[in-house]
Structure 1
Amino acid sequence: MTTLQTRPAVPATIRPRIVARTGLYALLAANAAVVAWFFVQAGFASNALIVLGRLCGLYGALLMAFQLLLVARLPWLDRRIGMDRLTSWHRWTGFGVLWTLLTHAVFITFGYAQASSMGPVNQLVNLAETTEGVLRAVVALSLIVVIGAVSARWARRRLAYETWHFIHLYTYVAVVLAFTHQVAAGTTFTSSSTAKTYWYTVWGVALGAVLLGRLVLPLWRNLRHQLRVEAVVPESDDVVSVYVTGRDLDRLPARAGQFFLWRFLTRDRWWQANPFSLSAAPDGRTLRLTVKAVGAGSAGLRHLAPGTRVFAEGPYGAFTTLHRTRPDAVLIAGGVGVTPIRALLEDLAGHAVVIYRVAADRDAVLHDELRDLALAKGAELHLVTGPVVPDRLAPGELARMVPDIADRDVFLCGPPGMMTAVLRSLGDLDVPGRQVHFERFSLAG
């Protein structure tokens, strides 16, 4: 039997995700303390409502800058935390921005109304007409309210991603308007040059991170690597593999388990960016993605011509061996979720058990490759077929196939329903959460 030479398994002693998460929390806490200090140094206003309103406005601005950092797609953070988790934090931070800025607007309006004996509505109109930057703040808050409304779960389920994304882009308009309001009317800007420098730095870093991660880095990588379609290979009636080649791919920092946002630059596809995982470990010469036709866009990949230019953003994702904690692993795949699992098997050291869940044998994409790779690496492969009910990945079945599953890392990828069921089974089997690795495709605007 032929065996592949693999690196010795070296589980992480310090979890990269914890390091990155702790760093983000510490960064936010330190800046919150600095904001409070500058606020106190600026002095207090005539009544409590105005004081609280100004403080809420400052923390709303800080959260807005932090929200930009979370969605900047910076490689160091993305590889350690994952785009799905960063996007989730971005979403909840966004609701924090919405409520702190609404509170800011209400407290400021009622505070000044109390001091002037005007009604709240008249006071707001008066502020907008007489105070520089307030009208821009009203427009910014209105945009944030609309964006918050369409980001609620009930609205997201009813909106096409493209529609939601287009509306979400107005966040950047709101950011610029809010910043100019802060420059014009913020007490910390007018009372302290040090505080002014601090806020310019905060906004410069946040906007610079977005510019770097979302524009500069993707453009630079694509200009450097000059990606093109090398071949399109049918794997079944509704699944194809696309091989992409380019220059200096050995210098592209892609790892097995990661994904790219792929744009195939044809006349009818250049504007579509789709997240597809690598289905083979990067070898420095080609990148491979394997896609199941679930719509017109993915079905059209079968007709790509060799030589088609490709614009790829990434690599993204924390679903890699960087997060290993144990010498041995279990890889659980469902349907076309086998693509990153197949790539991970190629990259993993130590003993591995692969469990591939499909409805029928004919749905087992890349099964022959998995079988050959498992044989070469001395891994176990279980093909589990049958209907969803009864659950064939229930705790008892998993324990039967992998008796020592609680002592292994578990990498999981598949349809949402299957992943939820498997995560529940892993909990019933007392598999520690730090040993369970999964990632859901989740994109923010």
Structure 2
Amino acid sequence: MAGNRSQEPSLTVTHRAATPLAPRRPRPVRAWWRDVCGLTAWFSVLFVLALWVSGRGVQDLAADPLTSLGRLTGLVSADLLLLQVLLMARIPWAERGYGQDELARRHRMVGFGSVTLVLAHITLISLGYAATDHSGLLREVWDLVTTYPGMLLATAATAALVLVAATSMRAARRKLRYESWHLLHLYAYLGVGLALPHQLWTGADFTASPVATVFWWTAYGLAVGALLVWRVAVPIVSNLRHRLVVDRVVHEAPGVVSVYLRGRDPGRLPVAAGQFFVWRFLDGPGFTRGHPFSLSAAPNGVHLRITAKNLGEGSARLARLRPGTRALFEGPYGRLGSVRSGPKVTLIAAGIGITPLRALLEAMPYRPGDAVLLYRAGSPGDVVFRRELDAIAAQRGVHLAYLYGRRSRARTSWLPDRYRGASDAHVLRHLVPDIAEHDIYVCGPEAWTAAVVASARAAGVARSRIHTESFAW
């Protein structure tokens, strides 16, 4: 393939020269981590179904089908609600086994499922009780809410969960700032907490047998414990140990800044190129809201570097940071750089999506000629790290192509409009003739990433060789 080369002066990449200690590498991803996590989740759902069966759920279907199905939907919704919490608890084995993107998708899917079943539970139980008591539906609902123990709290829990589900829908997320969405999303934890008293006080299936009681208390304990350990304790310990601060802020391109961070023994952070942290900078109001930013350079034991484009409040404030500002972090997260099938790699980025891929290009092992970088940008002025990318390409034998121009509005494509005469798969095979032998790493906006994945699949790349990280939330 003929790669484009910049004629700008070369920038020597010496990221290992000043390293006093080789950066600590994360533990490798074990193939069985993903299987164990998935099987555990399915086992919990099947166990809940077994509890319903053992509690005469099947027999009661004939006598009172509405109430029996209401019990079942309530049990399954409670289990899915706890699984939803665990999916975002930052459990290392799940994070490394699935990756943040897939966990977020599953979290959203399980969340919608749990809320749907909660509403079905409320409807079926209300209809069943109303039929048994020979009363009106609205009167029965009022009696349930006002007279049964814990039902007022359960009603508040349902309202919180419905709010979270509504604001997680794609149309709503497009209209909300990330900061507002993240704040509203925290109500899910409130919903889980408020639902517990109702389940213990009036949920006969939760206390019907010692086995059921042990299961539900264990499930709640694991969910709360996972949050306290990996969302609270581990970040506190890491921040107290490493004490990261802003070293300097560099303007890379219009609206794009890099922040270099230093601290105590950063080489002992188990982070790899391609991963990201959730950052909070103690620079004034709003510091409590975390923002995910990938490393844009390979960890070198001296500095960490993140780079962002001004796309919102969180990324815009990076440009205003001053040296010495304390940085709090959670992570590292993500598995983009820890999955690989063969020696050849192709990295495909759009805009600011170059940040994790630039770090991967620097850190990944590959032979000259075995790595390709395709960088999609509107114009040469939109390219970030141009000199660094050209220098890495020259030193390591990377085939580098910048794909400039507007995307076609007439079709769904990740390529510039000048390629509209050919299919995306045909162009990809032209740019990388042996693309089917490559692991592909993609980072960019969600719809653009989906178009890249579709063209790679059409070009013969196995799904297991395509690794993505999108900007969706």
TM-score (norm 1): 0.90
In structure 2, do the counterparts of structure 1 residues 49 and 227 end up closer, same or farther at CA, with 3 Å as the change threshold?
same
Report the counterpart of residue 12 of structure 1 in structure 2. Answer: none
Greater Cα shift, 193-202 or 416-425:
416-425
> Is residue 375 of structure 2 the alignment partner of residue 356 of structure 1?
yes
Greater Cα shift, 421-430 or 204-213:
421-430
* Counterpart secondary structure, 2:322: coil
> Is residue 366 of structure 2 the alignment partner of residue 339 of structure 1?
no
Q: 8 Å contact 2:445–2:471 — kept in the other structure?
A: no
Report the counterpart of residue 458 of structure 2 in structure 1. Answer: 428
* Counterpart secondary structure, 1:439: strand
> Is residue 323 of structure 2 the alignment partner of residue 293 of structure 1?
no
Report the counterpart of residue 231 of structure 1 in structure 2. Answer: 248
> Is residue 331 of structure 2 the alignment partner of residue 318 of structure 1?
no
In structure 2, do the counterparts of structure 1 residues 268 and 149 end up closer, same or farther at CA, with 3 Å as the change threshold?
closer
Matches within 5 A, 1:170-319: 170-268=187-285, 270-295=287-312, 297-319=314-336
Deviation at 1:334, TM superposition (A): 2.0
Report the counterpart of residue 10 of structure 1 in structure 2. Answer: none
Deviation string 1:277-312 (CA, Å, 9 cap, x unpaired) is 111111122101122334565344334222111112
Distance 1:293 1:125 in 2: 50
Aligned AA (2:51): F
* Counterpart secondary structure, 1:262: strand
Report the counterpart of residue 400 of structure 1 in structure 2. Answer: 430
State the aligned residue count.
434
Aligned AA (1:130): T
Deviation at 1:21, TM superposition (A): 4.0
In structure 2, do the counterparts of structure 1 residues 295 and 32 end up closer, same or farther at CA, with 3 Å as the change threshold?
closer
* Counterpart secondary structure, 2:175: coil
Deviation at 1:383, TM superposition (A): 2.6
Distance 1:303 1:32 in 2: 48
Report the counterpart of residue 38 of structure 2 in structure 1. Answer: 25
Q: 2:124 aligns with which of 95, 107, 111?
A: 107
Deviation at 1:255, TM superposition (A): 0.9
Q: 8 Å contact 1:17–1:81 — kept in the other structure?
A: no
In structure 2, do the counterparts of structure 1 residues 257 and 391 end up closer, same or farther at CA, with 3 Å as the change threshold?
farther
Distance 1:435 1:140 in 2: 42
Report the counterpart of residue 382 of structure 1 in structure 2. Answer: 401
Distance 2:103 2:443 in 1: 18
In structure 2, do the counterparts of structure 1 residues 113 and 91 end up closer, same or farther at CA, with 3 Å as the change threshold?
same
* Counterpart secondary structure, 1:314: strand
In structure 2, do the counterparts of structure 1 residues 193 and 405 end up closer, same or farther at CA, with 3 Å as the change threshold?
same
Deviation string 1:132-175 (CA, Å, 9 cap, x unpaired) is 22332233223322332232222222233333333322222211
Deviation at 1:357, TM superposition (A): 2.3
* Counterpart secondary structure, 1:270: coil
* Counterpart secondary structure, 1:263: strand
Distance 1:234 1:105 in 2: 54
Distance 2:179 2:246 in 1: 25
TM-score (norm 2): 0.85
Aligned AA (2:173): R
Deviation at 1:425, TM superposition (A): 2.2
Deviation string 1:12-60 (CA, Å, 9 cap, x unpaired) is xxx9596444333311221122222222333355622211111111111
Deviation string 1:77-130 (CA, Å, 9 cap, x unpaired) is 222312222111111111111121112112211212222212222222223333
Greater Cα shift, 389-398 or 159-168:
389-398
Aligned AA (1:369): E
* Counterpart secondary structure, 2:75: helix
* Counterpart secondary structure, 1:34: helix
Report the counterpart of residue 439 of structure 1 in structure 2. Answer: 469
Distance 2:78 2:159 in 1: 15
* Counterpart secondary structure, 1:313: strand
Unaligned 5+ residue runs, structure 2? 1-11, 17-27, 408-415
Report the counterpart of residue 74 of structure 2 in structure 1. Answer: 57
Deviation string 1:171-225 (CA, Å, 9 cap, x unpaired) is 2221112111111112234321221111000011012212222222222211111
Distance 2:450 2:46 in 1: 39
Aligned AA (1:59): V
Deviation at 1:330, TM superposition (A): 0.8
Unaligned 5+ residue runs, structure 1? 7-14
* Counterpart secondary structure, 1:323: coil
Q: What value does the CA root-mean-square deviation take over the aligned residues? A: 2.6
